[in-house]
């Protein structure tokens, strides 16, 4: 499939409010498998899922691996499948590696809903709920350009290739920077979701190109490490860092002036919508196969009025 069909898929995603059940037919068992444990994006999603579960009258159990890694997520998924829940909400950690394990879950009669990330062929899933990640990547470029109207060198720090969300953010950014000849795009480097690695990559990049004006960091841990690297290089004054996500530390960095803009997702809504789809599917209700949630750009100008900050606990 080329980019045309991807655009068509995006266009067909529901973006407004979708039909949601008010009460489940019975107390279903639902498993939520996070991309990684301890990440405020997935914690906030868990909070949304748990609040919705209480409303609907169903039971949710949440688990996540210690790293964002399919070799850790697969055994978690397999043991969840063996426990025969009614539905699984999951953020797959790799488009290829999680394909077969998830097909097996669906083949076992479990309703699978993909939240946040997806796989290369998600046809086994009841529904998919995610942010407009490509749009968010384009918005991140615009935020860098707003601060650097004359252009300059820009770099992307991502996590790993093969993760649908961050790959889409990179694509959105690359498409936008490619259309603007005042910017010199230095490419994407991968931090494996480790802030220390992200900091090292940024330090090395600044040694090679001391005149970088902007960095787009595609998630919480990339942004955390990028701002550390820039600070250590003493380059905070010349640099625009735009990070995806709005965890408490990212918001603090924004207020401190080490990060200039955040692309805040709506993780609680992704979770709520995901659970609604799972229950609708179990009760024979109306299903929306693809739901796209929005994002907000937070800068110093609106940070105090923003309610988009992620939670560290529910």
Residue 131's H or E segment, with its range, is: strand 127-131
The string over 264-301, giving b where at least 16 C-beta atoms fall within 10 Å of a residue's C-beta and e elsewhere, is bbbbbbbbbbbbbbbbbbbeeeebbebbbbebbbbbee
Q: What are phi and psi of 40, to 5 degrees?
A: -60, -25
CA–CA separation, 182 vs 185, rounded Å?
Answer: 10
CA–CA separation, 25 vs 32, rounded Å?
Answer: 19
Closest CA relative to residue 44, chosen from 290, 282, 301, 309? 309
Build a one-symbol-per-residue string for 146-175: x at contacts with ligand T6T by CB under 6 A, - elsewhere: -------------------x----------
Q: Token pair for residue 256?
A: 């401190």
Under the binding rule (CB under 6 A), the answer on residue 116 touching ligand T6T is yes
Scanning the structure block, which residue is given the tokens 């748990």? 50
Q: Which is nearer to ligand T6T, 21 or 92 (CB)?
A: 92
CA geometry: angle 194, 195, 200, nearest 5 deg: 100
**Residue count, binding to ligand T6T (CB under 6 A):** 12
Q: Which is nearer to ligand T6T, 101 or 267 (CB)?
A: 267
Contact positions with ligand T6T (CB under 6 A) in 40-79? 41-42
Build a one-symbol-per-residue string for 3-42: x at contacts with ligand T6T by CB under 6 A, - elsewhere: --------------------------------x---x-xx
Minimum CB–partner distance for residue 223 and ligand T6T (Å): 9
Minimum CB–partner distance for residue 155 and ligand T6T (Å): 18
Contact positions with ligand T6T (CB under 6 A) in 201-240? 219-221
Build a one-symbol-per-residue string for 236-275: x at contacts with ligand T6T by CB under 6 A, - elsewhere: --------xx------------------------------
Give the binding site for ligand T6T (CB under 6 A). 35, 39, 41-42, 116-117, 165, 219-221, 244-245
């Amino acid at each position: 499939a080329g980019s045309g069909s991807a655009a068509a898929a995006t266009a067909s995603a529901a973006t407004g409010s979708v039909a949601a059940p008010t009460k489940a037919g019975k107390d279903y068992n639902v498993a939520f498998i996070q991309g990684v444990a301890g990440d405020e994006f997935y914690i906030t999603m868990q909070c949304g899922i748990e609040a919705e579960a209480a409303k609907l009258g169903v039971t949710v159990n949440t688990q996540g691996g210690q790293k964002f890694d399919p070799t850790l997520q697969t055994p978690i998924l397999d043991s969840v499948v063996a426990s025969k829940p009614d539905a699984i909400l999951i953020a797959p950690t790799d488009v290829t590696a999680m394909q077969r394990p998830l097909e097996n879950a669906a083949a076992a009669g479990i309703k699978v809903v993909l939240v946040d990330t997806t796989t290369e062929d998600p046809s086994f899933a009841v529904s998919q709920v995610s942010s407009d990640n490509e749009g968010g990547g384009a918005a991140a470029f615009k935020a860098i350009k707003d601060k650097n109207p004359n252009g300059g060198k820009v770099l992307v720090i991502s996590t790993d290739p093969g993760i649908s969300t961050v790959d889409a953010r990179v694509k959105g950014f690359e498409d936008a920077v490619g259309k603007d000849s005042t910017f010199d795009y230095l490419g994407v480097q991968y931090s494996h979701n480790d802030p220390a690695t992200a900091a090292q990559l940024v330090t090395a990049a600044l040694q090679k190109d001391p005149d970088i004006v902007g960095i787009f960091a595609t998630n919480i841990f990339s942004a955390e490490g990028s701002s550390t690297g820039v600070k250590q290089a003493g380059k905070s004054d010349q640099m625009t860092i735009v990070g995806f996500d709005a965890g408490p530390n990212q918001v603090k960095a924004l207020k401190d002036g080490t990060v200039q803009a955040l692309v805040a997702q709506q993780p609680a809504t992704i979770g709520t919508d995901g659970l609604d789809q799972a229950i609708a599917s179990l009760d024979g209700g109306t299903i929306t196969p693809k739901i796209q949630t929005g994002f907000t750009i937070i800068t110093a100008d609106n940070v105090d009025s923003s309610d988009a900050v992620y939670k560290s606990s529910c």
